[in-house]
Chain A
Amino acid sequence: GNSVTQMEGPVTLSEEAFLTINCTYTATGYPSLFWYVQYPGEGLQLLLKATKADDKGSNKGFEATYRKETTSFHLEKGSVQVSDSAVYFCALREGGTSYGKLTFGQGTILTVHP
């Protein structure tokens, strides 16, 4: 079946540091890939997405590139802020008869200190 593996957290950074959160996936088809963010006490927000190989998703300074050859979708940001502190989830949607079903990684807690 499909699966998503994220780097273990928590990740603790100082403000303006570079962020990378690794994500690899296993899927039988050609899934769409996503990064979601969850702030304390809230639901999930879509951060960015990529729907085919070599696509780059970007939003709010975050970027991730769909790498089919390495089955990866690593999240990066050049300079993090305290407000980026949250839990980040990598996810895939296989589509087809799976319709909207999302398969999530286990989440990575990011804490950014001033």
Chain B
Amino acid sequence: KAGVTQTPRYLIKTRGQQVTLSCSPISGHRSVSWYQQTPGQGLQFLFEYFSETQRNKGNFPGRFSGRQFSNSRSEMNVSTLELGDSALYLCASSLEGNTDTQYFGPGTRLTVL
């Protein structure tokens, strides 16, 4: 069974631009979560989606948004990029009813210049 895939793997943007990252969960997984990883702040929860609904959200500004499609694939969008948004963005998927076992993708490395 294929693992969690994230595209693109690397991305370079400039301040003020917007970016969309994609996450395809493991087949059959309906829950997708997103995390931001930076050297200074570590791993921080962004949001979680299940059945196309956001059911939990972390403490990030409104510039960070996401959505989930009917096939469980998820996207996150960051508008008006700032230098501090440079990070590794990780998504994780799990089966509903077993969120104790989450599978992470390799991440998208975003660099904002």
A binds B: yes
> Which of B4, B58, B99, B103 is most buried by chain A, counting CB atoms within 10 A of its CB?
B99
Indicate if the CB atoms of B102 and A100 lie closer than 8 Å.
Answer: yes
> Which residue of chain A is the closest to B58 with respect to CB atoms?
A101
Partner of B94, one of A42, A44, A89, A100: A100
Indicate if the CB atoms of A46 and B107 lie closer than 8 Å.
Answer: no
> Which residue of chain A is the closest to B31 with respect to CB atoms?
A100
> Which residue of chain A is the closest to B105 with respect to CB atoms?
A43
B13-21, B42-50, B65-73, B75-83 - the one binding chain A: B42-50
Residues in B whose Cβ lies below 8 Å from that of A43: 4, 90, 104-107
B68 to chain A, nearest CB (A): 13
Residues in B whose Cβ lies below 8 Å from that of A103: 45
Number of A residues near B (Cβ < 8 Å) is 26
A46 to chain B, nearest CB (A): 6
Is residue A102 within 8 Å, beta carbon to beta carbon, of the partner chain? yes
Q: Please, could you name 20 A-B residue pairs with CB atoms under 8 Å apart, sorted by A?
A: A42-B106, A43-B90, A44-B90, A45-B104, A51-B100, A89-B43, A91-B43, A97-B56, A99-B31, A99-B50, A99-B55, A100-B33, A100-B102, A101-B48, A101-B56, A101-B58, A102-B43, A103-B45, A104-B43, A104-B44
Q: Which 8 A-B pairs have the closest CB atoms?
A: A100-B99, A43-B104, A104-B43, A44-B104, A43-B106, A106-B42, A32-B100, A101-B45
